[in-house]
C-alpha cells in the first residue's frame, strides 16, 4: 500500500499547533523535545548517537535516510541519544556490506521514535523562519492521537534554556580510553600506538571519535564525569585537559564546570575544548553564551580561520553560541562561521588554551580540521620541553 494513502501511524505536533502526519517506525510511544534540522547527507547513525542531541528530534533534509543500515562500529555512544527522527521517505532496506541491522529495527530495539512521509522542506523552512520549536512526536500503529493534548504538552515543555543535560549523558565514573582511529580494512588502532601525553577528558557528552582522535594524536586518555572537580582532574597529573562536546544550556552546565575550569586556567596547562567544551571555556574566561534561533546542525558548514584565512568545511551541532563581543582582554576570536558570522573558536593570549565550536573529529572536509588535535599535542610537548 502506498505510504501516501496509508492511515497515518505517526504524528508530529508543534507548539504553534502545526501538525504533520506520516508513517511511524522504530519504537512506539510519545516524546517531547526541541525540533532541529540537520543537512548532512550521511552519518544518521552518528547523529542519533551523538550525546549533543539529547532532548532533540532531528529532521533530516536529505531524503535517503536508512539506506546504509546500521553497524555498531559507527555508534558515538552506547545508545541513541536523540529523541527521534523525521524523514521524507520511509527508510528502505539497507544496502551496505558493513550493515549488521536496519535503521527501523535498531530504533525499535533502542526505544527511539521515527516518522516518515513528511514534507521535510516545509518543516525545515518553518524551523529556519521561526526557530527550533518544541514538539511532541508520537508513534501509534493504530493511528490514535490526541492532537490537542500533544500540542498542549509541546507548549508546556520547558525547553533547553536553563537545562543542564551534561549530567544526564556523562559517564558516571572515570575510565581509560585507548582505542585509536578506524582504518581500512575495518579495524580500530589498538594499544600498540605510542601515547606519550597524559590527558584528562571531561565528559559533557563526549563522542567516541573525539576520544579516538585524541589517542591518535598521542594522548593517554582518562575520561572523567562532567561534575569532576579540579582536584579530581589534577589527581591524574595530566599534561593537558580536554573539554568535550555535550547537550543543553551551557550556562546551566557552567554552574559546576566553570569554577573547575577557572582553577585549571591558573595552572597554565594546555586546554582544548570542542562544542559545549568551547562554550564552557568561554564562560570560564568571562564571556557569555546566547540561544540561537535554529542553531547549526550539519556537515557542510564553512568556517574561516582568522589567522590564516583558510576556510574549513566543518561538522556542527549546537543550539547555543558564544558571544564574541563579550570576550575579555586577552581572549581573541580565532574562527568565524561564514554562514552567519557567529563565533566558532577562541584562544587565550600567552596560554596554551584554545577551543572551537565545531567538530574536528567528524571529518566532513574530510581532514580540514585535524590539525587542532596536533596543535593540542604540540602544546603539551612544548610545555614538557620548556
Contact 272, 240 (CB under 8 A): yes
- Cell (9 digits) for 70: 546500521
For the chain, give the percent of residues with pLDDT over 70: 98
Q: Which of 24, 143, 16 has the alpha carbon at shortest distance from 87?
A: 24
Q: Angle at the Cα of 2 (from 41 to 122), degrees rounded to 5?
A: 45
5 or 42: whose pLDDT is higher?
Answer: 42
pLDDT on residue 192: 53
Q: Which domains does the chain have, with CATH numbers?
A: 10-156 (3.50.30.20), 166-385 (3.40.50.880)
Query: In the predicted model, what is the mean pLDDT of residues 360-366?
Result: 89
What's the whole-number mean pLDDT along residues 70-81? 95
139 near 13, Cβ under 8 Å? Answer: no
pLDDT at 370 over 80: yes
pLDDT at 42 over 50: yes
Cβ neighbours for 286, distance < 8 A, ≥ 6 positions apart: 326, 327, 328, 331
Residue 291 has pLDDT above 60, yes or no: yes
Burial class (CB in 10 A: 0-12, 13-18, 19+), 145: buried
pLDDT of residue 191: 56
276-285 helix and 250-265 helix, angle to the nearest 10 degrees: 60
Query: Per the omega criterion (within 30 degrees of 0), is the bond before 185 cis?
Result: yes
Task: Say if residue 307's pLDDT is above 80.
Answer: yes
Give the whole-angstrom CA distance, residue 226 versus residue 131: 29
Task: Reply yes or no on whether the pLDDT at 40 is more than 90.
Answer: yes
In the chain, what percentage of residues exceed pLDDT 90?
Answer: 91
Mean pLDDT, all residues of the chain: 95
Question: Is the model's pLDDT at 194 over the cut of 80?
Answer: no
Give the pLDDT of residue 1.
40
Confidence of residue 193 (pLDDT cuts 50, 70, 90): low
Q: What is the pTM of this model?
A: 0.96
Looking at residue 363, its pLDDT comes to 84
Catalytic residues, by residue number, are 275, 359, 361
Amino acid at each position: 500500500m502506498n505510504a501516501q494513502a496509508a492511515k497515518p501511524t505517526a504524528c508530529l505536533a508543534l507548539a504553534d499547533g502545526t501538525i504533520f502526519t506520516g508513517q511511524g517506525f522504530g519504537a512506539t510511544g510519545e516524546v517531547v523535545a526541541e525540533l532541529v534540522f540537520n543537512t548532512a547527507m550521511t552519518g544518521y547513525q552518528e547523529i542519533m548517537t551523538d550525546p549533543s542531541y539529547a532532548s532533540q528530534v532531528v529532521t533530516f533534509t536529505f531524503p535517503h535516510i536508512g539506506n546504509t543500515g546500521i553497524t555498531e562500529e559507527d555508534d558515538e555512544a552506547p545508545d541513541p541519544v536523540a529523541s527521534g527522527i523525521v524523514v521524507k521517505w520511509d527508510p528502505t532496506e539497507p544496502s551496505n556490506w558493513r550493515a549488521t541491522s536496519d535503521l527501523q529495527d535498531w530504533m525499535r530495539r533502542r526505544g527511539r521514535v521515527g516518522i516518515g512521509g513528511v514534507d521535510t522542506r516545509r518543516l525545515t523552512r518553518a524551523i529556519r523562519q521561526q526557530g527550533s520549536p518544541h514538539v511532541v512526536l508520537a508513534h501509534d500503529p493504530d493511528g490514535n492521537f490526541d492532537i490537542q493534548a500533544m500540542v498542549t504538552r509541546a507548549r508546556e515543555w520547558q525547553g533547553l534554556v536553563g537545562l543542564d543535560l551534561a549530567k544526564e549523558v556523562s559517564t558516571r565514573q572515570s575510565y581509560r580510553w585507548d582505542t585509536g582511529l578506524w582504518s581500512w580494512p575495518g579495524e580500530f588502532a589498538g594499544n600498540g600506538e605510542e601515547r606519550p601525553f597524559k590527558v584528562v577528558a571531561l565528559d559533557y557528552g563526549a563522542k567516541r571519535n573525539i576520544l579516538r582522535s585524541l589517542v591518535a594524536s598521542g594522548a593517554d586518555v582518562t575520561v572523567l564525569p562532567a561534575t569532576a572537580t579540579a582536584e579530581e582532574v589534577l589527581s591524574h597529573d595530566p599534561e593537558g585537559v580536554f573539554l568535550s562536546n555535550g547537550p543543553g544550556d551551557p550556562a546551566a552546565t557552567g554552574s559546576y564546570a566553570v569554577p573547575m575550569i577557572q582553577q585549571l586556567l591558573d595552572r597554565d596547562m594546555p586546554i582544548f575544548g570542542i562544542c559545549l567544551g568551547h562554550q564552557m571555556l568561554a564562560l570560564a574566561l568571562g564571556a557569555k553564551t546566547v540561544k540561537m534561533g535554529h542553531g547549526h546542525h550539519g556537515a557542510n558548514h564553512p568556517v574561516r580561520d582568522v589567522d590564516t584565512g583558510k576556510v574549513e568545511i566543518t561538522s556542527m551541532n549546537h543550539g547555543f553560541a558564544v558571544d564574541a563581543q563579550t570576550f575579555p582582554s586577552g581572549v581573541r576570536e580565532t574562527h568565524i562561521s561564514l554562514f552567519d558570522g557567529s563565533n566558532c573558536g577562541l584562544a587565550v593570549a600567552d596560554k596554551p588554551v584554545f577551543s572551537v565550536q565545531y567538530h574536528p573529529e567528524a571529518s566532513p572536509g574530510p581532514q580540514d580540521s585535524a590539525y587542532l588535535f596536533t596543535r593540542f599535542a604540540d602544546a603539551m610537548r612544548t610545555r614538557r620541553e620548556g
